[in-house]
Amino acid sequence: MKKIALLGSTGSIGTSTLEVVDQHPEDFSVVAMAAGTNVDLLTRQVEKFKPELVSVGNEEAAVELRDRLAGKSQPEIVYGAEGLELVARHEAANFVMTAVVGSVGVAPTLAAIEAGKTIGLANKETLVSAGPVVMKRAKEKGVSIIPVDSEHSAVYQCLQGERKEDVARVILTASGGSFRHLSREDLQQVTVEQALAHPNWSMGAKITIDSATMMNKGFEVIEAHWLFDLPYEQIECVLHYESIIHSMVEYKDRAVMAQLGTPDMKVPIQYAMSYPIRKELPTEPLDLVKIATLHFAAMDYERYPLLKLAYECGMAGGTHTAVLNAANEVAVDRFLKGAIRFLDIEKVVRKTCEAHPGVASPELADIFAADEWARSYALVSI
């Protein structure tokens, strides 16, 4: 049985992970979970899945959770960054699903690696911020990192049984986000509500905004570089509006393998959790006759300048991608709070990246320092 430690239990990936656990109770159990401050939902999750250890975002949430569970069998309750790491290295867990959002995922992922856990990685920012450190340590410890993002899961599946040296290129597909049919002029006055209306996927607010700016695809390019040990020149992006082909791998004989399916995150989640076995999943089957037509378009890097910037930062290496991620987190938060306009996200991120001198071969302390610097800079850059 897979015993799961779940980081980010109340988010979209976390709740879908728990649905998979609920559908296969004979195969999966949750021994530890971590969430932020959504104590209402977390209380229900704890009561249903009965983990041994639970972490919340802060001390106030921990007190509230203890009160909610008063008179019932309670797990050990911890909080904060230390709590996240305790969940990630919980002794009973043999699989860690890291589904938190942001660079907060770096430390617990490293903790899980040190503890020798298999990792299901649904947190882009871990490899964007600290790819060289994380992947090096995973290799040293012999830890498997199985991607959960639909695009990287698709590539991972297409690579099964193939030789890495036979890969010509990886093609990541992108829906184009909420504003894919709008011109840049039309983007001047878009609202937060409009930006949060993703056409295909149900995601959290931050990831949905990243989809609209195409920053999420930039993060996926960087993540693919580290996950599959490929140069950026072999990682391409294409617009695919229906989100049916989740990504493709082209081999040197020009054969292309693609992974297709309906847009349901439970598919890559369950694949990571049950790998190398495939289990039944009660989700909508793909009906290509009903869909009839799939649409593709070349990626316009002028239309999506943050995707272009992600390639630039990735090729620059070092701490540049950590700064890219931190600046974007701050800029998106400022937009969601109404402090800046949608297109200002791009300005904040680029200005911050251009001001950063960079550390070419960073240690973890250098990455955290660059992250902290970028957050401070991005708060006042415009």
Binding residue numbers for NADPH: 10-13, 36, 38, 123, 125, 204
Q: CA quadruple 78, 84, 89, 93: dihedral positive or negative?
A: positive
Unique residue bearing structure tokens 């200005």: 351
Tell me how crowded residue 280 is: count the other CB atoms within 10 A of its CB: 8
Which residue, among 129, 79, 86, has the nearest Cα to 104 in the 3D structure? 129
Binding residues for Mn(2+): 149, 151, 220
Q: What share of the chain is helix, strand, coil (3-state, %, to 5)?
A: 50, 15, 35
User: Distances in Å between the alpha carbon of 95 and those of 23, 29, 77, 228, 289?
Assistant: 17, 10, 20, 21, 38
Q: From the annotation, which residues make up the binding site? A: 10-13, 36, 38, 123-125, 149-151, 175, 198, 204, 211, 216-217, 220
What is the distance between the alpha carbons of residues 5 and 72, in angstroms, rounded to a whole number? Answer: 22
Binding residues for 1-deoxy-D-xylulose 5-phosphate: 124, 150-151, 175, 198, 211, 216-217, 220
Residue 374 CA, chain-centre distance (Å), reads: 20
d(CA 79, CA 58): 5
Residue type, 340: I
Burial of 194 (C-beta count, 10 Å sphere; 0-12/13-18/19+)? middle
